[in-house]
């Protein structure tokens, strides 16, 4: 299979389940909403070394938010509901509560026994001056702050999402590879229900499971490192000199599949030799995204 003369390798990306939450942040201006979202989702590229994987899903206009103010939608992913609750509490408390003019709302359906308590835990910052109100069955906490008050929903819904969807862009040069990766990331951001958790949506340091150093869970994907060609069993054709990876997390498998289609097609540009994907023979996760099958749709 070829798209725009770029080879699509007959392989699959291997993704795995994670628990996900959507946090809607609003503020007095779009700039402050975006600032809160960027800070709250920082240092959240991979659960290999972070408490969560997170990113800005999209920006929201006032007509789309609970309080009629500009906002952003954030997605957070962790391996368990307990881990997700801890990460979201810390990030909302340190990065959104502290940000001027913000408020924080749940963005998913609330299902019994599938929730995390956010406002209900952050309320203690009010030092006894906090108070709550129920609207349409949902409780909201209001905490006094120096610029007014911080409003945060009590509980947030969660779903079993999918993380680790990916594809690899094998290019003739760094410039060609980076341009293709940037085009893919821009295109994927138009898709609902997904985030690209790595910086700018692009990964330069693709990894493999394990290492010759026993304490490391992951290490550099040497088979795709151009400077190691000749020293290891390389997966790179002779004319490939740069590889970038796009990693996708989504609220469900269908969202990750659609984002993969959009991203791969956008990445098939001049200077790109091949599109591949990362997997570990099917041993890492139950979700297998076969590139050729997805792109045939």
Residue-wise pLDDT tens digits, 95-129: 999 999 999 999 999 999 999 999 999 999 999 99
Q: Which of 113, 144, 159 is the last residue of a domain?
A: 159
Task: Give the pLDDT mean for 43-65.
Answer: 97
Q: How many domains does the chain have?
A: 2
One domain, residues 144 and 28: yes
One domain, residues 26 and 151: yes
- The number of residues making up the chain comes to 297
pLDDT in tens, 221-276: 999 999 999 999 999 999 999 999 999 999 999 999 999 999 999 999 999 999 99
Q: Which of 159, 190, 221 is the last residue of a domain?
A: 159
Q: How far apart are CA 57 and CA 201, in angstroms?
A: 11
One domain, residues 260 and 279: yes
CB–CB of 151/104 below 8 Å? yes
Most confident of 207-221, 262-276, 278-292: 262-276
- Say yes or no to pLDDT of 297 above 90: no
One domain, residues 175 and 143: no
One domain, residues 36 and 78: yes
Burial of 144 from C-beta contacts in 10 A (0-12 / 13-18 / 19+): middle
Q: Which of 159, 188, 205 is the last residue of a domain?
A: 159
One domain, residues 105 and 174: no
DSSP lists the bridge partners of residue 75 as 22, 55
One domain, residues 21 and 10: no
> What is the 3-class SS of the chain, one letter each residue?
CEECCEEECCCEEEEEEEEEEEEEEECCCHHHHHHHHHHHCCCCCCCCCCCCEEEEEEEECHHHCCCCCCEEEEEEEECCHHHHHHHHHHHHHHHHCCCCCCEEEECCCCCCCCEEECHHHHHHHHCCCCEEEEECCEEEEEEEECCEEEEEECEEECEEEEEEEEEEEEECCHHHHHHHHHHHHHHHCCCCCEECCCHHHCECCCEEECCCCCCCCEEECHHHCHHHECCECCCCCCCCCEEEEEEEEECCHHHHHHHHHHHHHHHCCCCEEEEECCCCCCCCCCEEEEHHHHHCC
pLDDT band at 137 (very low <50, low <70, confident <90, very high): confident
pLDDT band at 53 (very low <50, low <70, confident <90, very high): very high
- Give the CA radius of gyration of the chain: 21
Nearest in space to 199 (alpha carbons), one of 176, 178, 226, 227: 178
Task: Give the pLDDT mean for 27-48.
Answer: 97
One domain, residues 6 and 39: no
Q: How far apart are CA 123 and CA 140, in angstroms?
A: 10
Residue 22: other Cβ atoms inside 10 A: 21
> What pLDDT shows up at residue 128?
97
> What pLDDT shows up at residue 129?
98
User: The CATH number of the domain where 28 resides is what?
Assistant: 3.30.70.520
Nearest in space to 66 (alpha carbons), one of 90, 39, 102, 100: 102
Q: Give the structural domain span for 42.
A: 17-159
pLDDT in tens, 8-18: 999 999 999 99
- Say yes or no to pLDDT of 285 above 90: no
One domain, residues 132 and 167: no
> What pLDDT shows up at residue 148?
97
pLDDT band at 4 (very low <50, low <70, confident <90, very high): very high
- Which two structure tokens, joined as six digits, stand for 226? 């151009």
The rounded percent of the chain whose pLDDT value lies above 90 is 94
Q: What is the mean pLDDT of the chain?
A: 96
Q: How far apart are CA 168 and CA 35, in angstroms?
A: 30
- Which two structure tokens, joined as six digits, stand for 270? 């001049």
One domain, residues 55 and 144: yes
> What pLDDT shows up at residue 283?
77
Q: How far apart are CA 222 and CA 277, in angstroms?
A: 14
One domain, residues 131 and 216: no
pLDDT band at 282 (very low <50, low <70, confident <90, very high): confident
One domain, residues 125 and 211: no
CB–CB of 111/157 below 8 Å? yes
């Amino acid at each position: 299979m070829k798209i725009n003369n770029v080879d699509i390798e007959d392989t699959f990306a291997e993704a795995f389940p994670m628990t996900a939450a959507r946090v809607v942040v609003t503020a007095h201006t779009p700039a402050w909403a975006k600032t809160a979202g960027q800070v709250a989702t920082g240092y959240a590229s991979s659960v290999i070394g972070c408490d969560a994987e997170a990113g800005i899903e999209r920006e929201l206009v006032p007509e789309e938010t609970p309080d009629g103010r500009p906002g952003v939608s954030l997605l957070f992913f962790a391996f368990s509901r307990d881990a997700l609750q801890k990460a979201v509490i810390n990030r909302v408390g340190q990065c959104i509560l502290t940000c001027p003019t913000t408020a924080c709302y749940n963005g998913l359906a609330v299902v019994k026994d599938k929730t995390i308590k956010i406002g209900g835990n952050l309320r203690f910052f009010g030092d006894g001056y906090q108070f709550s109100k129920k609207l349409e069955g949902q409780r909201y906490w209001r905490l006094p702050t120096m610029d007014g008050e911080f409003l945060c929903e009590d509980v947030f819904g969660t779903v079993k999402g999918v993380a680790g969807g990916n594809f690899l862009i094998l290019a003739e040069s760094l410039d060609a590879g980076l341009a293709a990766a940037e085009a893919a990331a821009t295109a994927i951001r138009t898709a609902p229900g997904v985030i690209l958790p790595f910086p700018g949506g692009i990964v330069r340091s693709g990894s493999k499971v394990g290492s010759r150093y026993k304490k490391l869970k992951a290490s550099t994907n040497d088979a795709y490192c151009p400077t190691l060609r000749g020293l290891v069993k390389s997966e790179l054709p002779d004319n490939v000199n740069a590889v970038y990876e796009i990693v996708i997390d989504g609220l469900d498998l269908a969202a990750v599949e659609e984002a993969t289609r959009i991203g791969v097609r956008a990445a098939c540009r001049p200077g790109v030799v091949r599109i591949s994907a990362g997997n570990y023979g099917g041993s890492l996760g139950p979700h297998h995204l076969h590139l050729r099958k997805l792109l045939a749709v």
